A and B are shown apart, each in its own frame.
With several copies, the nearest count.
Chain A
Amino acid sequence: MPYVTHSEAERSEMLDTVGVSDPDALFDIPDSVRFDGDYGIEAHSERETRAAVEGLLDESPDLTEFLGGGHYDHYVPSVVDHLSLRGEFLTSYTQYQPEITQGFLQALFEFQSLVVELTGLGVANCSVYDRATALGEAVLLADRVRATDGDTVLIPADLPDRVRSVLDNYTDGPEITVETYPTSGGTVDVDGLADQIGADTSLVYAATPNARGVLEPDLAAVGDLADDNDALFCVGSDAVALALLESPAAYGADVVVGDAGVLGLPTTYGMGLGLFACREDFLRQVPGRLVGAGEDDAGNRAYTLTLQTREQHIRRERATSNICTNQAWLALRAAIHAAWLGPDGLVDLAEECVTGIAAACERIDALDGFTAPVYDGHHFREALIDTAAPAADVVDHCRHAGLAVRAVEDAGEERLAVCVTDTNQESVDDLVDALAGYGGGA
């Protein structure tokens, strides 16, 4: 059997020690609930297993993707794989014994420091699952810290359905009301928000870049509104965008959530790495794991999980969250990627997210039958495009050229959504060519 290690002789000796002749005798299971069927799964050699699973995966076609919409692809340098796959990292557990797990603790402390630097906030945890659950945790935090008595959170009308759905599950238990506030011209309608915010508002959320790929031009105004109403101001962003953009703390963010998986993410289908940072005065209400610096008996600085009394394994139903397993290994990977890039490399990568989509839009806008982008303003990675032909037909047409783009419903229109990053930038030519052949409708 693979991975099970006893020789027959050892097994006998162990059975003797235990005092049974068959391990099955150790199973203290009433007959009535014994399983005597088969699962019906065949065993495979390592080579066969690889062939089977990889063969299955190969059923998806090889496409050049211009997707985005919450999951973004950046080139991850080889060194991230090589280092993060080291067994001492990959196969270790949560750091309940800090003396023997200093390495991972330090890496998580460094990840937290990176998030603190990017957000400008005082505290960051060492990850939550993804940007949607991070927003859920932010809303629960607002509920706990009760800056107001409000139990309503305000989210922008363009929050993606998939994120909204997660938020609805998070707000269901504590009976928090989720309301949307309007956008206008592709960004937050500050006046509309002002009309809606009030004493019952516990948190206002806004994202930059927003769901349309537009960088919000005046989040300070949103922050002021939240502040005026004693509501928390929660900003959504990601670890690459934040390298370039004004620090959220500088314009009043109390909480920052979003995706740090834009750095270091392994090849994957939609995994995330939720980042979560907040003001230092919420420290004891932070969800998830925190790593702190302390001292060991030798008088040296050492790291440890800290403030564990917030956590489920100690505080149980009064814990700040139910998080046990988080995304530690992905946090390690993000930190390695950031360290490899350095501040210059990270800013350059972010700037490519601005110039790449802008250049693509300019070329597409020059084609007959396309308006790109739909909304004014500076874009980051992605933009919406108006098409003369039905957007779905344009999508099909591109698909035949091996290019994946999306049609989205936006403000009542079917529009094309296009995402450009460092990994598909050199294929923009192909996209423009494909679109050029499809300008005026069929």
Chain B
Amino acid sequence: DAPHQQARWYDGDRYEPLLDEKSTDTVTVESSLPDDLTREELTLPDLSEPEVTRHYTRLSQMNYGIDSGPIPLGSCTMKYNPAFTEDVAAHPGNRVHPLRTDEDKQGILGLLYELQETLATVGGMDAVTLQPPAGAAGEFTGIQVAKAYHEANGEGERSEVIVPESAHGTNFASAAMAGYDVVELPSNEDGRVAVDALEAAAGEDTALLMLTNPNTLGLFERDITEIADIVHEAGGLLYYDGANLNSLLGKARPGDMGFDVMHFNLHKTFATPHGGGGPGQGPIGVSADLAPFLPTPQVREADGGYETYEPDHSIGRVHEFMGNWLVLVKAYAYILRHGDVGLERISETAVLNANYLAERIEYEVPYGPFHHEFVASADEDAADVAKAMLDHGVHPPTTKWPEIVDEALMTEPTETESKARLDDLAAAFNAVAATDPEDLAAAPNETTARRIDQADAARNPRLSWHALDDT
């Protein structure tokens, strides 16, 4: 028997039927409004609470989360989300409308202040905004702040953002969204930034270098001081992508390395649940020079309490209110729970776990030594490896990226996996490595659905239940 057979509800040629396939009603809309303002009828699923409960109970059983088992997706930092933070987030004191006066939301402002100060300390930054509603939104915000800074300094002509080839896709997209041209920086043979290439690339057009450190290969950019000097001498700024910050807690701070702007992925480093894709939250930290450009509002102490204010040269807003508040609350609770000692233990264990797992697996693992993650190279199609791993009761790593490694298996176990679970992961890797390629291609067999033809789904897009009626 397989280590895990996922639950499956099945009905004809589909699994759990869609809500609208269970029971749908078309109601004639009656309203005190005049007819020309209202729709005539509305057709939606019409289920009792028992049926709603069963629908989502079943769907949840057909879904895999950290609460089911490990999810070693590289750079995603899928660590355990402490249950108590949900209760903190459900506390009635969170039910505060954002348009209350400062005086009437001192609890909210107090938490915002404490968290922004804490993040500034952790990042080695001078000021922090908590507003961006996701990591990519944080990138965009940070770039806009940097851009505003350059413009205020009469350097608005700088048009390029330099991004290493192994960087997260969001770096490229965020830079483009802010109107920059992206200059891709090659890696050197040891997987790190090619300093000579950077020297060639950096110049009067350089607005920003965006860097993840440790990078997506799990390698610390040892030349970070030299890199910072090159960029700064060219008049550019350094942006730190916080996706991999988990491995630096208590050990190093982006601000100390020369970074001028950074974002934090609270849902990664500070373990707020990923919720199937969000919400996240991407605060940014900046050096003192950039602080006047931060989004509005900022929070500061005043008269024994807290007040909001608009920084002198604020870029304005990147979210209508304060982003995903609940993520902020949970992250703050998480930090308070751990304290200095706990936070340093996180990074130490995350790095130990990654190195231990790298030792235990039989696939080739180029580069090293690793921090929080490593990238193994599959002998066969990495996507097939991933599908086969699903049958071993674990979630597979990120596949085929970064492209710098052939058939990459980018693996980040995080600190919350026990040795037993790391051994499970290693066993899964190694069992798959020993599996006949044909069997790999037939996997997975124990998941709710068998292998899904994604190319076909994209060729023939059916994106709502309305589209299913046509076929």
Contact = CB atoms under 8 A, between A and B. Distances in A.
A401 B295 CA distance: 34
B134 A324 contact: yes
A350 B33 CA distance: 11
Contact of B349 (A4, A49, A89): A4
B220 interface: yes
Contacts of B326: 266, 268, 271
B135 A39 contact: no
Interface stretch (A51-59, A150-158, A362-370): A51-59
Contact of B464 (A28, A84, A109, A297): A109
A334 B459 CA distance: 29
B48 A129 contact: no
Given A130-B133, A298-B1, A302-B15, A87 B67 contact: yes
Contacts, number: 690
Interface stretch (A188-196, A226-234, A312-320): A312-320
Contacts of A88: 57, 60-61, 63-65, 67-68
Interface in A290-319: 290-304, 306-309, 311-319
Interface string A86-121: 111111111111111111101111101110110000
A32 B225 contact: yes
Contacts of A67: 97, 99-100
Interface stretch (A16-24, A178-186, A430-438): A16-24
A103 B60 contact: yes
A312 B172 contact: yes
Contact of A329 (B32, B108, B279): B279
Contacts of B170: 312-313, 322, 324
Interface centre among B36, B141, B326 (most CB of A within 10 A): B326
B94 A347 contact: no
A30 B174 CA distance: 30
B66 interface: yes
Interface residues of A, number: 188
Interface centre among B29, B66, B224, B320 (most CB of A within 10 A): B320
B83 to A, nearest CB: 4
Interface string B9-38: 010011110111001011101111110111
B18 to A, nearest CB: 6
B321 A43 contact: no
A41 B335 contact: yes
Given A130-B320, A269-B98, A329-B278, A339 B110 contact: no
Contacts of B164: none
Nearest to B338: A43
Contacts of A358: 32
B294 interface: no
A404 interface: yes
Contact of B63 (A54, A104, A269, A321): A104
Contact of A3 (B33, B55, B416): B416
Interface in B415-471: 415-419, 422, 442, 444, 447-454, 456-458, 460-468
A82 B86 contact: yes
Interface string A395-416: 0000100001010000000000
Interface string B49-74: 11111011111111111111001010
Given A92-B66, A306-B457, A2 B449 contact: no
Interface string B228-253: 00000000000000000000101111
A399 B105 CA distance: 13
A318 B172 CA distance: 8
Interface string B143-182: 0100100000000000000000000111011111111101
A119 B217 CA distance: 44
Contact of B52 (A52, A165, A340): A340
A62 B104 CA distance: 9
Contact of A165 (B225, B317, B449): B317
A168 B318 CA distance: 9
A332 interface: yes
A296 B91 contact: no
Nearest to B349: A4
A315 to B, nearest CB: 8
Interface stretch (A198-206, A244-252, A383-391): A244-252
Interface string A365-380: 0000000000000100
B295 to A, nearest CB: 8
A18 B326 CA distance: 38
Contacts of A99: 387, 390, 444, 447-452
A46 B462 CA distance: 36
A296 B81 contact: no
Interface in B313-338: 315-326, 329, 332-333, 335-338
A142 interface: no
B256 interface: yes
A145 interface: no
B222 A59 contact: no
A6 B52 contact: no
Interface in A69-85: 69-71, 73, 77-79, 81-85
Given A166-B316, A271-B325, A326 B42 contact: no
A267 to B, nearest CB: 5
Contact of A97 (B16, B267, B395): B395
B411 interface: no
Contact of A328 (B81, B278, B444): B278
Interface string B286-323: 00000000001000000000000000000111111111
Contact of B33 (A291, A322, A354): A354
B110 A59 contact: yes
Interface in A22-37: 23-24, 26-30, 32-35
B401 A313 contact: yes
Interface in A121-173: 123-124, 126-127, 129-133, 140, 160, 162-163, 165-166, 168-170, 172-173
A93 B320 contact: no
Nearest to A86: B60
A439 B267 CA distance: 49
Given A43-B337, A312-B136, A77 B83 contact: yes
A347 B315 contact: no
A27 B220 contact: yes
Contact of A113 (B174, B451, B465): B465
Nearest to B82: A3
B175 to A, nearest CB: 7
Nearest to A168: B316
Nearest to B268: A325
B94 A269 contact: yes
Interface in B263-296: 267, 271, 273-280, 296
A303 B95 CA distance: 35
Nearest to B223: A30
A142 B36 CA distance: 28
Interface string B380-403: 000000110010000110100100
A132 B38 CA distance: 25
A92 B63 contact: yes
16 contacts: A41-B339, A56-B93, A59-B93, A59-B110, A82-B86, A86-B56, A90-B273, A217-B36, A244-B33, A246-B36, A306-B458, A317-B176, A319-B169, A327-B278, A343-B42, A351-B32
Q: Which 3 A-B pairs have the closest CB atoms?
A: A329-B275, A57-B93, A270-B321
Given A50-B84, A87-B57, A109-B464, 10 more contacts: A59-B110, A88-B61, A93-B78, A99-B447, A114-B44, A270-B321, A295-B456, A313-B401, A314-B169, A319-B173
